[in-house]
Amino acid sequence: MGARAMIVMVSWVITLVAVPAPGQIGDSSWLCLFDGQTLNGWKASENKGTFSVQDGALVAHGERSHLFYTGPVEDGRFKDFELKVDVMTEPGSNGGIYFHTEYQETDWPRKGFEVQVNNSFTRDPRKTGSLYGIQDVHVTAAEDRTWFTEHIIVRGNHVQVFVDGTKVVDWTASNRDMGVGTFALQGHDPGSTVRYTNIYVRPLPVLDFPIVDYHVHLKGGLTLDEAIAESQRRGVKFGIAENCGVGFPTTNDAALKPFLEKLQGQPAYAAMQAEGREWVGLFSPEIIAQFDYVFTDSMTFTDQRGQRTRLWMPNEVQVEDKQAFMEMLVGKIEKIFSEEPIDIYVNPTFLPACIAGEYDALWTEARMDKVIAAAVKNGIAIEINARYRLPSERFIRKAKAAGAKFAFGTNNGGKDLGQLAYSRMMARRCGLTKDDMFVPKPDGQKPIRTKGLPQR
Ligand SMILES: [Zn+2]
């Protein structure tokens, strides 16, 4: 057949096979674990060829293998959660969905629990939805060759399993530590074919504040329309940031106007990423105040040699004495916070590659305390950055205790918009609530109004 007919046919097949997940669209508390196209974030055991991606689904077919989630969401350590997976079996197939498990190179997973997938595999009487060997189901609520949804809810020692909305398991563990761990999908045997797709997790407890990604760039071909569509799909508001300063196209008011016009009336924040330390001399307070907020990092400054250094450029960084470098860096951060009218400190505590491996040792308690105190004193929120996974949990706990505010941010390099996995995980671990979170200030209270630009 011709190419056009082929394309029509292929898209028709995809439409039929890829079932939508209407319950998750626009709800920011659900995170997708499977991208529909690749095995990214997943790792197969023993017979790795058993798993493939076809028409938007993970297909398990072949010798025994288990596909473990190893991606960034909660770093694969789920304790309390809801999980939804759409599943389709061929007749005579066996599969399963594990939780609280961990990667194991061979054999059936020993850790955690299995929720069964079996509609017509007669050698095993445990049918779809069974909490395997603990609370078994003997009549399946699903059919072969028809998509069905397995919905697993784990809260404390209470497990519930729903098949297409019907509760089939309700079990409470007694005297048993339920544990924690990742998910795995089962490839049972060469006679089985099981498809898994629309894999969504909702870590519990759900965060009590709206999820906002305050640090999104229109880079690498990502358009505003695409960003807005993505924002709506995820139910996450975006702050779209223009890089403003020396070394970037935007170095004066006139160059900023098209960006502000483009964002006008859009369901996104307009953010100014203030670059380097020169930015305070390049733009008028009037134009800065037109942004919803301003953020900067401490990655560009004039160093101890009097040279402009960007910490992510190895050839521009000189660290002869690590302790002296850290003292200088902390001093730069304190100066930025006291002088520059910014709302958020982004890419926080970033260290150049040559010393990044010593982060925990170099970010001493005293240094963290200084940065946190300066942020609190100047009313500057601290970004929890998903790309660099910064700052550390230790830093966030200290900052929360000191009364600092936080903002989630991705700092994407292109279309690689993340799910804020690190930010969300840290918020949950450190117990952040809505009172800890940054919200853009009304015009009269913006730092550019209250603090103004430094006198030069
Ligand atoms: Zn940025």
pLDDT surpassing 70 at residue 456: no
pLDDT of amino acid 304: 86
Distance 243 CA to ligand 1 centre (A): 7
Mean pLDDT of 368-392: 98
Q: How far is the CA of 426 from the centre of ligand 1 (A)?
A: 20
**Could you identify the residue written with the tokens 């990655």?**
299
Tokens coding 226: 């695409």
Distance from Cα 214 to the centre of ligand 1, integer Å? 10
In this prediction, residue 438 carries a pLDDT of 98
pLDDT at 175: 73
Q: How far is the CA of 221 from the centre of ligand 1 (A)?
A: 15
Q: How far is the CA of 299 from the centre of ligand 1 (A)?
A: 11
pLDDT at 2 > cutoff 60 = no
Bridge partner list, 210: none
Over the stretch 74-105, which tens digit does the pLDDT of each residue have? Answer: 999 999 999 999 999 999 999 999 999 999 99
- Whole-angstrom Cα Rg for the chain: 25
Paired residues of 383 in beta bridges: 407
Q: What is the mean pLDDT of residues 311-327?
A: 96
Residue 284 CA to ligand 1 centre (angstroms): 21
CATH architecture of the region 212-450: Alpha-Beta Barrel (3.20)
pLDDT category at 23 given cuts 50, 70, 90 is low
Q: Among residues 134, 138, 99, 135, which one has the least CA distance to residue 118? A: 138
Q: Rounded to the nearest whole angstrom, what is the distance from the C-alpha of residue 178 to the centroid of ligand 1?
A: 40
Work out the pLDDT band at 7, boundaries 50, 70, 90: very low
Ligand 1 centre to CA of 372 (Å) is 21
Q: What is residue 9's predicted lDDT score, i.e. its pLDDT?
A: 41
- In 3D space, the residue among 279, 274, 281, 326 whose CA is nearest the CA of residue 303 turns out to be 326
272 Cα–ligand 1 center, Å: 9
pLDDT at res. 18: 41
Distance (angstroms) between ligand 1 centre and the Cα of 295 equals 9
Q: How far is the CA of 203 from the centre of ligand 1 (A)?
A: 27
pTM tops 0.85: yes
Compute the distance from residue 424 Cα to the ligand 1 centre, in Å: 19
The one-letter amino acid code at 6 reads: M
CA distances (Å), origin 162, targets 119, 140, 167, 170, 361 = 15, 12, 4, 9, 47
* Helix, strand or coil, per DSSP, at residue 400: helix
Instruction: State in Å: Cα 411 to ligand 1 middle.
Output: 5
Q: Is 60 exceeded by the pLDDT of residue 211?
A: yes
Rounded to whole angstroms, the Cα distance separating 51 from 259 reads 45
pLDDT of 13: 40
Specify whether the CB–CB gap between 185 and 198 falls below 8 A. Answer: no
- Rounded to the nearest whole angstrom, what is the distance from the C-alpha of residue 240 to the centroid of ligand 1? 10
How many Cβ atoms from other residues are within 10 Å of residue 285's Cβ?
Answer: 12
* pLDDT category of residue 213 using cuts at 50, 70 and 90: very high
Contact 111, 103 (CB under 8 A): no
Q: Ligand 1 is a single-atom ion; what residues have CB below 5 A from it?
A: 273, 411
What value does the mean pLDDT of the chain take?
93
Q: How far is the CA of 206 from the centre of ligand 1 (A)?
A: 27
Distance (Å) from CA 29 to ligand 1 centroid: 24
Distance 339 CA to ligand 1 centre (A): 20
Q: Which carries the bigger pLDDT value, residue 410 or residue 25?
A: 410
For residue 413, report the distance from its CA to the centre of ligand 1, in Å: 8
- For 384-398, what is each residue's pLDDT tens digit? 999 999 999 999 999
**What distance in angstroms lies between residue 273's CA and the mean position of ligand 1's atoms?**
6
The band of 17, judged by pLDDT with boundaries at 50, 70 and 90, is very low
Per-residue model confidence (pLDDT) at position 316: 95
Q: Where are the domains of the chain?
A: 19-203, 212-450
Rounded average pLDDT over 58-82: 97
Q: What is the CATH number of domain 19-203?
A: 2.60.120.560
> What mean pLDDT do residues 301-320 have?
94
CA distance 235 to 210: 9
The band of 8, judged by pLDDT with boundaries at 50, 70 and 90, is very low
User: How confident is the model over 218-274, as pLDDT tens digits?
Assistant: 999 999 999 999 999 999 999 999 999 999 999 999 999 999 999 999 999 999 999
pLDDT band, very low/low/confident/very high, at 284 (cuts 50, 70, 90): very high
- 113-161 pLDDT, tens digit per residue, is 999 999 999 999 999 999 999 999 999 999 999 999 999 999 999 999 9
CA of 326 to the centre of ligand 1 (A): 22
d(CA 178, CA 175): 9
Distance from residue 169's CA to the centre of ligand 1 (Å): 46
Distance 441 CA to ligand 1 centre (A): 20
pLDDT above 70 (res 14): no
CB 407 within 8 A of CB 383: yes
Q: What is the pLDDT of residues 161-205, one digit of tens each?
A: 999 999 999 999 987 778 999 999 999 999 999 999 999 999 999
pLDDT attached to residue 43: 98
Instruction: Please name the helix (run of DSSP H) or strand (run of DSSP E) that holds residue 401, with its range, or none.
Output: helix 393-401
| Rounded distance between C-alpha atoms, residue 161 and residue 151, angstroms | 6
Task: Output the CA 244–ligand 1 centroid distance in Å.
Answer: 10
User: Pairing between strand 94-101 and 182-187?
Assistant: antiparallel
| DSSP secondary structure code for residue 454 in this structure | P
